Structure 1
Amino acid sequence: MPAHLIGVRHHSPACARLVGRTIESLRPAYVLVEGPADINDRLDELLLGHELPIAVFSHYRDEDRSHLSWAPFCEYSPEWVAITAGRSCGAEVRLIDLPAWHPALAGRRNRYADAEQRYADAAERLCRAFAVDNVDALWDRLVEVEPDDGLEERLATYFDLVRGDSAAGEEDTAREEYMAGWVRAAVADAGDRPVVVVTGGFHRPAILALTERPAVGDSPEPSWPEVPRPLEGSVAGSYLVPYSFRRLDAFSGYRSGMPSPEYYQRLWAQGAKAAADGLVEAVATRLRGRGQSVSTADLIAARTLSEGLARLRGHPHPARTDILDGLVSALVSDDLDQPLPWTRRASLAPGAHPVVVEMVAALSGDRVGRLHPGTPAPPLVHDVDAELLRLGLDREGEVDLDLTLAGDLDRSHALHRLVALGVPGFERRSGPSSGADPVLDEQWVLTAHDARVAALIEAGAYGGTLRDAAAAVLAERIAEAGTEPGRLAGVLFAAALCGITDLPERIAELIAAGIAGAREPGPLGEALAMVLGLWRHDRVLGTANSPMYATVIDGAVTRLLWLAEGIHGGPAPADRARLHALTATRDALLHAPEVLTTGRDVALDVMARIGADRTAPPDLRGAAFGFGWSLGASGDPVRALRGVAGADTLGDWLSGLFALARDEVLAGTSGVLEVLDDLITSMPEFLPGLPALRQAFGYFPPRERQLIAQRLLERRDLTGSARALLRTTADPLLIAEAQLLEEKVSRLLTREGLRP
């Protein structure tokens, strides 16, 4: 007897009803379901008595790739109904798809992928033919609100059209051939008894063709396919995790199956009319709970409009989009600035109308699954429970930590590791924010969270202990940072907060390669400054003299010197980011020479070349001179200052000088301030250079600006208050308005391409 193949759409109540009726009617020997075959020996675990939704979470990691994926089930998932109904009628139930970690599924975070996402042409033609906005509305029109009579034939026709004559990709071909092998073996073993197969509708035509292909010659009797095993040396596994309707919802970014899961849950449990009425009330309740006025007349109008739209669109009962459109018409009187999300299957964009936000939330629902207490969990879950208990963090409320105390530092490390793993319910309110931050205490707030168990189970893919898992995540993020030094710095600081500074040697190689590929000095300078601070000072966090951080310092200094010498261009506003980068480079030469492969003499030679290069920007030339001056190189600052040409370059050159050699400028013997006073006094046109000069002197804090003012008074044999020279009699509001105007003009010039 040939197999009875049912093509379904994942998480479709109508398909789930069809699957349940078919199994109950045929009483098959086998029920074969699209799902990871590697958990066939754990079906009893899947059916322990969980509160749905739940998901099979799979993970895989080897030297070349890592993979995470989820196969979610809710009460109205056809696959779930197939498993439970098959067990109830005494059938042998088998999951028949390749394991989720298999290379054929390596590009997917969710093993279910609707055909409409990959072969959209046929779906678009059908949408035009039925005058609907998108494939979800089309599906409701053809399947969910229509009578169940003839449903299987409609589904077969629909999926045949979607599949068309186009060849599937290699990954789908591999999966379909594997599933067909299970079908052939089940049919051979079942004899005269039926076999029911439930797969995604896109795969049905191919599996049907593969299983109906006649045997050739003396073909051997079909045998059960082997379940692939992970490669030797890899780490792979599957666990059940609690899931939620919010994660299942397309409006929250889930791209497989159905949107608005709360609506389809009600449709499954109560029918179309009760689902429509109940959701109108649910939206009204949410809006009233947030202080929005929703009257009984509004509810009557929403129901009337929904029913009218259903009749106009030829629906026997209001469909999901009828309800949503009716609610919008009744409750929203403002102009909408963006398309409604259900017209294009999109996530809610920032600035969405509050009523629309609450409507989407009501139809999404807040249901969260719960695993049976006897469900196996990865070692990490037990390790975290034990750690939180040991550290006194197994509670809710505020936690204050003093990082100079060993016990509190251990607590801080544990909390930061949980944050690195993305486990919810642990929020740091305050604490150190960089390697040079003198803050030595932290404030945390611990709260219970419905998603914590799921997050811990999923994080178990990275390791069996909290420390190992956090280290693996950090290593992965370092690899992902690539040539983005800003991201790399953030990960390295997170590693310091986690108390993890001994990452594998290959990670040091990735860091070095990423730094060597950095293209902008500003972000790389930020990373260098942060890491240098951790390497020099942080004995509290345990990063002082860390070899891993030394690798970053060495690579960043070499790369920054190379980048600085390659910068060319005429007069332009001083670039504070690259000046900060040169300052960090100078500090590394001063305070960490023992870890550098680029010596002081090489760096000074680079700066000498930059300072003499008239094609280099003025701020960079000034910084190059200040770099050498601050490191004790020979050079006459007065002569260098006199060699700067014109008011259009003086201020920018000084920005570079002051950024690198502020202390040297203030030294009484340098003569720089006196020469600068003469230059500015003798300028024929002072105003054009004023903004750049003001920016340059911004490198001096108020106390040092007051010292400069005092020296200028003394040079002129004047008495008076230097502090008074730093104060203005102008209206502060007028100054603020002028600054805003300057910023607006600057943005406008940049936008229109009018900056030199």
Structure 2
Amino acid sequence: MTVTFLGVRHHSPACARLVADTIRSVRPAYVLVEGPADMNPRMDELLLGHELPIAVHTSYRDPERRHGSWTPLCDYSPEWTALTAGRDVGAELRFIDLPAWHPALAELRNRYADAEARYGEVTGRLCRAFAVDNVDALWDHLFEIEPADGLAERLATYFDLLRGDTEAGPDDTAREAYMARWIRAAAADAGDRPVVVVTGGFHRPALIRLAERGDRNWPEVPRPPADAVVGSYLVPYSFRRLDAFDGYQSGMPSPGYYQDLWESGPAGAARRLTEAVTARLRARRQQVSTADLIAARATADGIALMRGHPHPARVDVLDGLASALVSEAIEVPLPWASRGPLGAGTHPVIVEMIAALSGDRVGRLHPSTPLPPLVHAVLAVLGGPGEERLDLGGEAGRERSRLLHRLRVLGIPGVVRTSGPSPAGGAELVERWTLTDSDDRLPALIEAGGYGVDPQEAAAAVLAERIRGADLDRLADVLFDAALCGIGELTGKALDDLARAVGAAADLGSLGRTLTVALSMWRHDDLFRTGGSATLGMVVQAATRRALWLAEGVRGGPVPADLRRIDAMSAVRDALRHAGSSLGLDTDAALGVADRLAARQEAPPDLRGAALGLGWSLRGTAAADPARAVRGAFVPASAGDWLAGLFALAREEVLHAAGMLELLDELVGGMTDHDFLVALPALRQAFGFFPPRERHLIATRLIERRSGGASGWDLMRLEAAPELVAAGMALDGRVEAALRREGLITS
């Protein structure tokens, strides 16, 4: 048998040319390509005549795992040229890798993520040997800029050195064993006719070895588990999504530049890169003179000559442009000296240069390309761009709102809500949306199709996934999004995950927000039909019990009042008061926690005050001698924080209990000047829990108690800022202390 193994770097113009030339030269019976074997029956769909870049998007979900991955292809992808050149010479085309949903690829969101990144020691030594910054510059230096003569041998040497004697991990081992079965079967079927194998160069040494022995039967394509939902569809892709500077791990940054390299060669790509950067900067009103361009080209040519390049490489052109166009000091390393997204502080001109290299090409699918049901379901009802005002008081407005919220939850571009109800807001009955066209909408819809066949099913799956991974601060937002989407009731694993998240909560403040939102929606939400929801009822039950358990475990000395913690205790009070009997909450147990917490000196003052307020507000007139409890718990050093907790939970009880305001006046009035000034900010915060009408009532009663002639409103209105009054009091105190120290006053 004659098998030609071509190890390539994904998205490399040099490798793409080598592949196409080799196939046209040897005219093989089979062209075998690293790619998802389950796409083999759909090869005609892949080759319909799309405008590249495109990708095969595969979605997988079962009760335990969800996975989405892409197999991207552009004009200069060696895999693409293998398919097109193979079709031209009449070869049988086969993808030979495991399907993208397979556990061996579970860690890969992109099938064509180059393995060489995993072997940094070897590439690091090569970079040092050739005096280049990183593997991208190394690749250009060795392969893209150099003449094509001897390219296959140089590639084989490079990848043999990269792989060496290293044992691949279990995932790569499984993939290579599977690909080798395809190679052996194709070679056996081809007889004396040649076979060409195109895979990532990392796999080439292992495949050569594995292809020598073993069975020669065609392998079966693995089937997903019976309870899994799997779908693979072609999606339009874009150079922006391909770019390593945007976070894509293909190993090839600047796809626009490499497209030019593919079409025009190194000299043409260097010229077009300079033109693209110039046009982009001038479009943004950045001054780029002819002298600047001459300097940039001359510098790039000089750098290329110094580095031994027959033509300026990508980094040569970029270094020349940076030298000519950036006059001030550059505070961060140039982005092409490393890999990955642009760092903070990158110079604006450099940012525009990188954007010019990326290119703005967007792929287009052939009109006959099959699309998932979700795409048809959405496009049939979404409508065109424009502003929409929805009346949520009518069923038509609510139904349209639910559709748009489902698309928002799915992350579909061009669907933006500008106003409407929020978890912390009132019952707003109007929503406003802005719909705009976007090149990314169709890819996003196709990818979202992996969640379900219609917007409701897909949004429910996304929300279930968000619940599984949400921290507690975001859980309330997820519940509210579920209501907005018309998915008020969760079932099965999503409900279990929700209960688990609430039951494992460790932060009382975050749990309180979730409880507040869930209780409000359970009690009142007729607008989104969540009133009395079983799901929300479960959240209220679990959050109330967990909050009481967390509160009893809090320790800490006098610190500023934690308003989130106080709000959590208020939410517990409201849940017990308004849902206790309906949801079977144990009010007696909650009162026991409140009494123990109120008496525990190790607990923070605000929490002790809130616990006292919780017990008082739930018992009402049955509370035993609250005045005695207040007098026993009042500590001047932490009075403001303690009162904040008390007032937040038992404001009305304090206001209307006989003699309570007078007692508080006595306690505050008995504080020393020093203690009062220290406590003043916290005291102001505490009394802020009373609304203006009630503060006026307090002021009136204090004036009556002190027999003053002013009105309550006069007492509430200071001519000076409270901070200035406090500073004046502190100054008076220091003066009086100095006078006493000097014996000038004795009384």
1:323 aligns with 2:310: no
Identify the residue that residue 129 of structure 1 maps to in structure 2: 129
CA distance in 1, matches of 2:356, 2:540: 52
1:529 and 1:584 in contact (8 A); partners too: yes
For 1:592, what is the secondary structure of its paired residue? Answer: helix
CA distance in 2, matches of 1:293, 1:661: 66
Within the candidate set 445, 451, 460, 1:471 is matched to 460
CA distance in 2, matches of 1:344, 1:338: 11
Identify the residue that residue 189 of structure 1 maps to in structure 2: 189
1:251 aligns with 2:245: yes
Q: Count residues in correspondence.
A: 723
- Write the letter of the residue equivalent to 2:555: H
Deviations 1:62-96 (A, max 9, x none): 12212111000000000000000000011111111
1:678 aligns with 2:666: yes
Deviations 1:39-62 (A, max 9, x none): 111111001110100000111111
Measured after TM superposition, the shift of residue 485 of structure 1 is: 2.0
Correspondences of 1:120-269 after superposition (within 5 Å): 120-213=120-213, 222-269=216-263
1:630 aligns with 2:620: no
Please identify, of 436-445 and 193-202, the stretch whose mean Cα deviation from structure 2 is larger: 436-445
Deviations 1:601-637 (A, max 9, x none): 1111110010111111111111111111111251333
Measured after TM superposition, the shift of residue 595 of structure 1 is: 4.4
Deviations 1:517-551 (A, max 9, x none): 10010000000001111111111111111101101
Measured after TM superposition, the shift of residue 666 of structure 1 is: 2.0
Identify the residue that residue 574 of structure 1 maps to in structure 2: 561
CA distance in 1, matches of 2:9, 2:714: 77
Distance 1:704 1:567, change over 3 A: same
Please identify, of 150-159 and 277-286, the stretch whose mean Cα deviation from structure 2 is larger: 277-286
Please identify, of 681-690 and 51-60, the stretch whose mean Cα deviation from structure 2 is larger: 681-690
1:286 aligns with 2:293: no
For 2:224, what is the secondary structure of its paired residue? Answer: coil
Please identify, of 684-693 and 720-729, the stretch whose mean Cα deviation from structure 2 is larger: 720-729
Identify the residue that residue 442 of structure 1 maps to in structure 2: 431
1:386 aligns with 2:353: no
Correspondences of 1:509-524 after superposition (within 5 Å): 509-524=496-511
Identify the residue that residue 706 of structure 1 maps to in structure 2: 696
- Write the letter of the residue equivalent to 1:103: P
2:2 and 2:192 in contact (8 A); partners too: no
2:301 and 2:311 in contact (8 A); partners too: yes
Identify the residue that residue 352 of structure 2 maps to in structure 1: 358
Measured after TM superposition, the shift of residue 731 of structure 1 is: 7.2
For 2:558, what is the secondary structure of its paired residue? Answer: coil
- Write the letter of the residue equivalent to 1:202: F
For 1:643, what is the secondary structure of its paired residue? Answer: helix
Question: 5+ residue gaps in structure 2?
Answer: 729-747
CA distance in 2, matches of 1:31, 1:153: 20
For 1:212, what is the secondary structure of its paired residue? Answer: coil
CA distance in 2, matches of 1:366, 1:235: 34
Distance 1:375 1:266, change over 3 A: same
- Write the letter of the residue equivalent to 1:40: N
For 1:586, what is the secondary structure of its paired residue? Answer: helix
1:557 aligns with 2:564: no
1:436 and 1:537 in contact (8 A); partners too: no
Identify the residue that residue 66 of structure 2 maps to in structure 1: 66
Measured after TM superposition, the shift of residue 439 of structure 1 is: 1.4
Measured after TM superposition, the shift of residue 721 of structure 1 is: 4.5
For 1:271, what is the secondary structure of its paired residue? Answer: helix
Distance 1:125 1:626, change over 3 A: same
CA distance in 1, matches of 2:341, 2:718: 51
Distance 1:93 1:146, change over 3 A: same
1:647 and 1:688 in contact (8 A); partners too: no
2:63 and 2:493 in contact (8 A); partners too: no
Identify the residue that residue 442 of structure 2 maps to in structure 1: 453
Measured after TM superposition, the shift of residue 13 of structure 1 is: 0.4
CA distance in 2, matches of 1:547, 1:538: 13
- Write the letter of the residue equivalent to 2:449: G
- Write the letter of the residue equivalent to 1:433: S
Measured after TM superposition, the shift of residue 649 of structure 1 is: 1.4
CA distance in 1, matches of 2:684, 2:722: 17
Within the candidate set 390, 393, 402, 1:401 is matched to 390
CA distance in 1, matches of 2:332, 2:243: 20
Give the TM-score of the pair, scaled to structure 2: 0.94
For 2:234, what is the secondary structure of its paired residue? Answer: strand
Measured after TM superposition, the shift of residue 509 of structure 1 is: 1.6
- Write the letter of the residue equivalent to 1:244: S
Distance 1:734 1:339, change over 3 A: farther
CA distance in 2, matches of 1:514, 1:185: 50
CA distance in 1, matches of 2:167, 2:693: 75
2:511 and 2:547 in contact (8 A); partners too: yes
Measured after TM superposition, the shift of residue 291 of structure 1 is: 2.4
Identify the residue that residue 747 of structure 1 maps to in structure 2: none
CA distance in 2, matches of 1:355, 1:670: 72
Deviations 1:107-152 (A, max 9, x none): 1111122122212110111111111111111111111111111111
CA distance in 1, matches of 2:533, 2:598: 34
Distance 1:634 1:172, change over 3 A: same
Identify the residue that residue 524 of structure 2 maps to in structure 1: 537
2:579 and 2:585 in contact (8 A); partners too: no
Deviations 1:203-222 (A, max 9, x none): 00000111134x6xxxx6x1
Identity of aligned residues (%): 62
CA distance in 2, matches of 1:716, 1:547: 54
CA distance in 2, matches of 1:151, 1:495: 56
Distance 1:28 1:599, change over 3 A: same
CA distance in 1, matches of 2:313, 2:366: 34
CA distance in 1, matches of 2:120, 2:715: 71
CA distance in 2, matches of 1:300, 1:637: 86
Distance 1:161 1:664, change over 3 A: same
Measured after TM superposition, the shift of residue 714 of structure 1 is: 2.5
Give the TM-score of the pair, scaled to structure 1: 0.93
Deviations 1:200-248 (A, max 9, x none): 00000000111134x6xxxx6x111111111112111211000011111
2:387 and 2:434 in contact (8 A); partners too: yes
1:51 and 1:371 in contact (8 A); partners too: yes
Identify the residue that residue 376 of structure 1 maps to in structure 2: 370
For 1:328, what is the secondary structure of its paired residue? Answer: helix
CA distance in 2, matches of 1:178, 1:548: 46
Name the Cα RMSD after superposition.
Answer: 1.9
1:435 and 1:534 in contact (8 A); partners too: no
1:435 and 1:532 in contact (8 A); partners too: no
CA distance in 2, matches of 1:139, 1:305: 22
For 1:499, what is the secondary structure of its paired residue? Answer: coil
CA distance in 2, matches of 1:436, 1:473: 24
1:115 and 1:162 in contact (8 A); partners too: no
CA distance in 1, matches of 2:514, 2:296: 56
Distance 1:682 1:731, change over 3 A: closer
Measured after TM superposition, the shift of residue 435 of structure 1 is: 6.0
1:101 and 1:236 in contact (8 A); partners too: yes
For 1:95, what is the secondary structure of its paired residue? Answer: strand
Identify the residue that residue 401 of structure 2 maps to in structure 1: 412
2:466 and 2:478 in contact (8 A); partners too: yes
Measured after TM superposition, the shift of residue 505 of structure 1 is: 2.7
Measured after TM superposition, the shift of residue 600 of structure 1 is: 1.0
CA distance in 1, matches of 2:145, 2:35: 27
2:423 and 2:477 in contact (8 A); partners too: no
